Amino acid sequence: MDRMTSDHDDETPSTARPVSPADRALFLRSEIRRHGLLYFQDDAPEIPDDAFDRLVRELEGLEAAFPELAAGSPTLEVAPPPGGRSLGEIIHQTPMLSLDKALSVQEILDFEDRLRRFLGSTSTLSFHTMPKFDGLAVELSYEDRALVLASTRGDGRRGEDITANVRTIGDIPKRLPQGAPASPLQVRGEVYMDKEEFSRLNEEREAAGQSIFANPRNAAAGSLRQLDASITHRRKLKFFAYGLSRPEDSGAATYGGLMEALGRWGFPVEGSGASRSAKNLQEALAIFRDIEGGRDGLPFEVDGLVITVDDLSLWPRLGATSRAPRYAVAAKFKPRAAKTKVLAIEIQVGRTGALTPVAFMEPVLVSGVRVAQATLHNEDELKRKDVRVGDLVRLQRAGDVIPEIVEVDLEKRPPGLPPFVFPKACPVCGTASVRKEGEAVARCPNRSCPAQIEARLIHFAHKNALDIEGLGQKVAEMLLSSGLVRQPSDLFRLSLDRLRVMPRFGEKSAANLIASIDKARRQSLWRFINALSIRHVGERSSQILAGHFASLKALSEATMDQLQALNDIGPEVAKSVLDYFQSPLNHSFLADLMDPGLVEPSLEAPASGGGLQGRRFVLTGTLSSMTRAEAKARIAAKGGRVMSSVSKETDFVVAGEASGSKLANARKLGLAVLNEDDFVKMLE
């Protein structure tokens, strides 16, 4: 599972299982070979590409630390990893975003609340609903009404060229009729395999002794990304259109109208009772319940209902976050569950000391992905679910990613199964655990606990922190146990000579590690901040902090007021930052890290944004065409920042109706003041 997915997710449980490196390497080898075959030979990947990449990286890390394990390893073979094959790469002109998910009726209602708040409107919004197809997003580019390019979504910005394969899909028009635009047009939609073709294909494969596809989505994905288009052709794939990269190309005023235009231009559009307009959210909810109950009757697999704001003129106003548009939500159906047996429950110690119970289970496929462990989050959650070793449990992948134990099958519980007793002490250092009032998480309070030190070191090197390749768990263990590293800053003082004489560390792996550490010296400041393992401070907060404090030193001297004045930095985060820099335990580490010449954090921004990159705005008064939330979001979407008070650093002051003292201050400082019209023009 990915560490550090959000600011709230501030824990990195360290796996403290006593498995020898040789055993782990053997296990990884066999997993990599198995998944490689599933992927390349059978088109039946069981795990996503990034999970596969993590297996390979872990094995590479092990082999770097213990070179004798490398002989005959799959890491030395030339077989290209998933994603690295030779379908050409293309860049999407407009990013292909994902959809936000609503996992409950409440979250669907929240979606409408957000829209209302954002638009500052109380009038009824109308929607359009469509099944969420479980296939593969593709973009079809037409020029002069002829299909010229087809691509996968990829990471949203770069995808793969699958034109040859897509040409074999009968559903997809190769030429558009008169009446369709002749100017360049990009149609988006989903390639899928219907249930009938899916069973046919699997029966055929079974008869031929081949492994079967876990679900129609994997079957479609595997079929579409074939290097040999004739294989794609033999698997009957289908297509539904659901959008345009530029909705205005449709000439329609509503999403329903856009879908009609796509239909007129010859694209298959889904026509069941699930694809229609809904006068209001209540109607959309009724459709949701209806389709969830009847999903088995549809000829293709669906995993939810996409609910979209119908009025296209609201789309640009609502805009998008970096991952998803605000005008649509994917309301997910309850996933079909899988059952398995709990083999063990272990307590893992995270980098901020959190004690996290983790269940290890007999591996099962959950929505097409093999799952063998799941977090039980904390003591309360474990008690509430009352999971015991030996229980049969129902598993789901929450939001389709993180595996979760939903409940225990009490009827199947063997008699006399003892409840799991949550330990009162840290399983690694033995210090009595502490659970603060009002908190669900018990923690090991000992910042010097070996498990915490190790977890912090691993986090320091993590991809989203300093990105030091080759510093995974095993290497971290070795560096710490040998005494070469006591605190993360020691990494920057490691010498090749010290490292290469380490037992099991080869010349090459030592040199590689030193090189990645050297590269890390000049990582961007936000990565350094994220690397510190400050509680509640993850990637996003680190980026915000790096945007305002030009160095670690400046951040270490920040006051509560300065921190709290920042947008999106709440009191909890601010306090945590102060605590961190005040704690004597961090002093030697920080002093070392700030030692001139040891590292040189750079100030480059995390990702390039729109035309207002780095500009600082202050808002004052009321705008008539948008709410303050909308104004902030639109500035941020273009790379700008909104500050709460006027200073000489401010680039623009946006003055609406009834502007107050901020406007007066701005005038005094001679700053640029925009009225609403200027501001709207700037955003456009």
Q: For binding to ligand IVH (CB under 6 A), which residues are involved?
A: 98-99, 130, 132-133, 137, 153, 190, 242-243, 306, 308, 328, 330
| CB within 8 Å of 509: residues ≥ 6 apart | 63, 64, 65, 67, 470
Residue type, 218: N
| Spatial distance between the Cα atoms of 232 and 558, rounded to a whole number of angstroms | 59
CB of 97 to ligand IVH, least distance (A): 8
Considering beta carbons, is residue 133 or 420 the nearer one to ligand IVH? 133
- Quick one: 75 exposed, middle or buried, by C-beta within 10 A (0-12, 13-18, 19+)? middle
- Tokens at 202, concatenated: 């699997």
| Spatial distance between the Cα atoms of 144 and 129, rounded to a whole number of angstroms | 31
Cβ atoms within 10 Å of 3's Cβ, excluding its own: 18
- Nearest residue to ligand IVH, scored by beta-carbon proximity: 137
Q: Which helix (H) or strand (E) holds 245?
A: none
Residue type, 75: T
List own/partner pairs for 630-638 with CB under 8 A and 24 or more apart.
630/118, 630/119, 630/120, 630/317, 631/679, 632/567, 633/118, 633/319, 634/319, 634/683, 635/683, 637/319, 637/320, 637/321, 637/609, 637/610, 638/609, 638/610, 638/611, 638/612, 638/613, 638/683
> Within 13 A of 385's CA, how many CA atoms are on the CB side?
25
Q: Tokens 């919004």: give the residue.
A: 125
CB of 622 to ligand IVH, least distance (A): 31
| Spatial distance between the Cα atoms of 520 and 522, rounded to a whole number of angstroms | 5
Cβ atoms within 10 Å of 581's Cβ, excluding its own: 16
Distances (CA, A) of 191 to 220, 336, 356: 7, 22, 40
| Spatial distance between the Cα atoms of 398 and 375, rounded to a whole number of angstroms | 12
| Spatial distance between the Cα atoms of 424 and 444, rounded to a whole number of angstroms | 10
| Spatial distance between the Cα atoms of 626 and 414, rounded to a whole number of angstroms | 60
User: Rounded to the nearest 5°, which phi and psi values hold at 386?
Assistant: 50, 50
Considering beta carbons, is residue 328 or 671 the nearer one to ligand IVH? 328
132 catalytic? Reply is yes
Considering beta carbons, is residue 14 or 218 the nearer one to ligand IVH? 218
Distances (CA, A) of 555 to 325, 540, 548, 563: 33, 16, 9, 9
Considering beta carbons, is residue 137 or 347 the nearer one to ligand IVH? 137
Cβ atoms within 10 Å of 530's Cβ, excluding its own: 28
Distances (CA, A) of 327 to 453, 546, 631, 632: 44, 30, 16, 17
Q: Tokens 């995974």: give the residue.
A: 472
User: Rounded to the nearest 5°, which phi and psi values hold at 592?
Assistant: -65, -45
Active-site residue among 101, 132, 424, 474?
132
Angle subtended by helix axes 507-520 and 49-65, to nearest 10:
120
CB of 321 to ligand IVH, least distance (A): 13
| Spatial distance between the Cα atoms of 441 and 377, rounded to a whole number of angstroms | 8
Considering beta carbons, is residue 202 or 254 the nearer one to ligand IVH? 254
- Tokens at 236, concatenated: 């009957």
CB of 330 to ligand IVH, least distance (A): 5
Q: What is the DSSP code string of 586-616?
A: GHHHHHHHTSTTT---B---SS--STTTT-E
Strand, coil or helix: 134? coil
CB of 633 to ligand IVH, least distance (A): 18
Considering beta carbons, is residue 330 or 626 the nearer one to ligand IVH? 330
User: In this structure, are residues 68 and 25 in contact, taking their beta carbons and an 8 Å threshold?
Assistant: no
Distances (CA, A) of 295 to 133, 135, 199: 11, 15, 17
- DSSP secondary structure code for residue 657 in this structure: B
| Spatial distance between the Cα atoms of 292 and 302, rounded to a whole number of angstroms | 9
- Catalytic center residues: 132
